Amino acid sequence: MSIGGVPEPRPIAASAPSFDILTMSRPTPSVDPVTPVIGAEVRGVDLDHVTDADFRVIRDALMSRCVLFFRDQDISIASQKALGARFGELVAHPNDPGVDGHPEVMPIHADENSVRATGEQWHSDVSCDPRPPMGSILRMHTVPETGGDTLFSNMYAAYEALSERMRTLLDGLTAVHDGGPYYREVNRLIGRDDGGRAYPSAEHPVVRIHPATGRKALFVNQMFTQYIVGLPPAESGAILGFLFEHVGRPDFQCRFRWRPNSVAMWDNRCTQHHAIWDYWPATRSGYRVTIRGEAPA
């Protein structure tokens, strides 16, 4: 359509990064939702050089979309750490020594010699910690031709989809999360002697309130949550069993297909993720940095 013979300007596609009017030098990143409930692909940002304006877009998008994806980010470990550090203090993993000189950088690696891959069930990272991570940033440099996708599920949506009676039952309950059973099993599988060390464990609300958005999110996961406090084992087991199934409902999820130098950044307080190891004997390899969070409330 035209007005007075002048062609109407074409709307800028939602996916197109728009240029900063003042400087005309840097595009403003674009944020394209992946599904109605979770995930966004962010374009027009170089994670080696994140400006304050870029960071504001990234932080706001993370709060609204819960997990963000970036493509073609051949970034250094220093840049990945610097990006994580803008959100908060980086933390070392309780069962991984990190990479040389970087205890807070966790290698994520599986190849033909692997007997397991990291994160092969629904979980929120290190929820057994008294202050579980607020988020993680994972960059994969090597990926299989097909497979090795990661699933992400929205824990606000999981909570909100429960019946009012179930929400009322869960609100105010707490559950014990323990790293010991899972990490000891990992060490047994890979033949690592952990010297009988103690792993973190903590009691957290079953439903937590996100400190930035104020929304309620389900906070139990099959990797770390052992039992609900104050319920007989049979009741606790039945409720947790139901919730562990519930968080994997397809309508809460998105699925990310990695390419070399893709980055995923997730808010660990309102998501769970599940890495799929369907690519053996191929190699999948990258680095994760993890950002300290607060005690869930």
**Which parts of 141-200 interact with ligand SIN (CB under 6 A)?**
150
- Residue 116 is classified by DSSP as -
The yes-or-no answer on residue 288 being catalytic is yes
C-alpha distances in Å from residue 290, one per residue of 56, 88, 89, 214, 225: 19, 9, 9, 22, 20
The answer to whether 29 contacts ligand SIN (rule: CB under 6 A) is: no
The answer to whether 93 contacts ligand SIN (rule: CB under 6 A) is: no
Q: Which of 273, 274, 284, 292 is catalytic?
A: 273
Minimum CB–partner distance for residue 1 and ligand SIN (Å): 46
What pairs with residue 178 in β-bridges?
201
Nearest CB to ligand SIN, comparing residues 40 and 140: 140
The answer to whether 288 contacts ligand SIN (rule: CB under 6 A) is: yes
Name the 3-class secondary structure at 66: coil
Binding segment for ligand SIN among 37-45, 117-125, 154-162, 165-173 (CB under 6 A)? 117-125
Side-chain-side CA neighbours of 251 within 13 Å: the count stands at 6
Closest listed residue to residue 161, CA positions, set 123, 125, 227, 207: 207
Say how far apart CA 285 and CA 146 lie, in whole Å.
Answer: 14
The yes-or-no answer on residue 259 being catalytic is no
Q: How many chain residues interact with ligand SIN (CB under 6 A)? A: 10
What pairs with residue 233 in β-bridges?
none
Minimum CB–partner distance for residue 17 and ligand SIN (Å): 26
Residue among 29, 39, 84, 119 that touches ligand SIN (CB under 6 A): 119
The yes-or-no answer on residue 125 being catalytic is yes
Secondary structure of 136-150 as H, E, C letters = EEEEEEECCCCCCCE
The yes-or-no answer on residue 86 being catalytic is no
The answer to whether 95 contacts ligand SIN (rule: CB under 6 A) is: no
Q: Where are the alpha helices (DSSP H) in the chain?
A: 52-65, 77-87, 155-160, 164-170, 180-190, 233-246
The answer to whether 262 contacts ligand SIN (rule: CB under 6 A) is: no
Residue among 105, 275, 289, 291 that touches ligand SIN (CB under 6 A): 275
The answer to whether 68 contacts ligand SIN (rule: CB under 6 A) is: no
Binding segment for ligand SIN among 17-25, 40-48, 92-100, 118-126 (CB under 6 A)? 118-126
CA angle centred on 249, ends 272 and 133, rounded to 5°: 5
For strands 6-7 and 225-228, give the pairing: unpaired
Whether the Cβ atoms of residue 292 and residue 135 lie closer than 8 Å to each other: no
Nearest CB to ligand SIN, comparing residues 30 and 150: 150
Catalytic residues: 123, 125, 273, 288
Instruction: Give residues in contact with ligand SIN (CB under 6 A).
Output: 108, 118-119, 125, 136, 138, 150, 273, 275, 288
